[in-house]
Amino acid sequence: MVILDNHISKPGWCCSNSDGNGFFGDQYFNPDLWIKGLTKMATIFNGVRNVVGMSLRNELRGPKQNVKDWYRYMQLGAEAVHAANPEVLVILSGLNFDKDLSFVRNQAVNLTFTGKLVFEAHWYGFTDGQAWVDGNPNQVCGRVVDNVMRLSGFLLEQGWPLFVSEFGADLRGNNVNDNRYLNCFFGVAAELDWDWALWTLVGSYYLREGVIGLNEYYGLFDWNWCDIRNSSFLERISSLQSPFRGPGVFETGLHKVIYHPATGLCVQRKSFLDPLTLGPCTESEAWSYTPHKTISLKGAYFCLQAKHVGKPAKLGIICTDCGSTWEIISDSKMHLSSKADNGTTVCLDVDSSNTIVTNTCKCLSRDKTCDPASQWFKLVDSTRSSTTTKSFFQFNPILDLPGKDFIWKFFGLF
């Protein structure tokens, strides 16, 4: 675990962030002093191995913000940091509270160095006001994610590293806007394998906003800095602290894991006969999502099947019927939908014991009071290996067992 300016972050990130918000052209900005400060910080940490990056300026904003000055000063600052510390990554933030890097799509940053430039973005529930409360979560998630990808996420498609250097939520757990946002954020963060930093570690402040001992409800620590404010959130976020696929993670071949954003857990099985459950992603199955839209265990002949409404999803070997086909539906692109034996459309779901079941799909209408979180899943690319060994039913030698015809017929009943 690495600390970044009162942030808790994915391992591997430790950065210095220049002080101050505002924009380069405001009354408080002195470009010479800013360059001097960046140079001083880069020099101090030259050779300090756990400081791997420097962010040039935090949350640019205000009426004077403009693209021309952004390029002018960001390029000057980046060159100053590089000159003082050739090893450290240089991290560039965007406009409008670090939400907007859309202008980089068509105009590259012009620097004398390569291979060490990183972009950063911020994303909170309040970034979109009360949209998560006022709208249907599926529709809001789809709309907001599209906007995030338009403003900054496209950089990943262009091959640039993108660091979500601030996200967070009210960890008391009773903020509906934040809770719905987090479910969407966790799904996207897992799918894109984002590096991130959480606001914030602190539990309270000596003095802030004129209040002595102000409680920081976004903080991992509680007010007295002795206990964790929300232990379930800490467990949940641990699923994102290790990369799913890297770069640099090549423990096994590329496969899918079925990730559940609301819990930070992944679909797994103990044996063929036990129901599928949620468990740590480090113990997840290796799945594939085929062109025929079946979700199959890699290295085996079993696929995920929907059988009955309100009953556990099954593994079977007859993978050509409607109950073995899984569509990714809804605006959130996180509902996995199939057909039960009676023809009812169902979605993958989780019951109170964390067993994987199929139920009628939730929140596909415009209903804003509905919460689809239990039915949100992401098929996430991974090259991580599982830490557990499963039953022999996973492996191909079953094909050579005596009485194999009876075994296949027996399995087909499930």
- Which tens digits make up the pLDDT trace of 108-137? 999 999 999 999 999 999 999 999 999 999
Average pLDDT score, the chain:
89
Token pair recorded at residue 117: 């430039």
Total residues belonging to the chain: 414
| 299 — pLDDT class (breaks 50, 70, 90) | confident
Q: Which long-range contacts (CB under 8 A, 24 or more apart) does 317-323 make?
A: 317/408, 317/411, 317/412, 318/412, 319/292, 319/294
What integer pLDDT is reported at residue 392 of this predicted model?
39
Q: What is the rounded average pLDDT of the residues 94-104? A: 97
Asked if residue 19 has pLDDT above 70, the reply is: no
**Domains defined for the chain, CATH in brackets:** 2-239 (3.20.20.80), 255-382 (2.80.10.50)
In this prediction, residue 25 carries a pLDDT of 62
* The dihedral sign for the CA sequence 272, 275, 281, 287: positive
Higher pLDDT, 184 or 392: 184
Q: What are the beta bridge partners of residue 100?
A: 95
Could you give the C-alpha distances from 173 to 75, 180, 221, 230, 351, in angstroms and in order? 41, 11, 14, 8, 20
- pLDDT at 105 > cutoff 80: yes
Q: What is the DSSP string of 294-336?
A: -EEETTSS-EEE--STTEE-EEES--SSGGG--EEETTTT-EE
**φ and ψ at 48, to 5 degrees?**
-85, 110
Closest by CA to 234, choosing from 206, 270, 264, is 264
pLDDT band at 367 (very low <50, low <70, confident <90, very high): very high
Q: What is the DSSP letter of 226?
A: S
343 or 397: which leads in pLDDT = 343
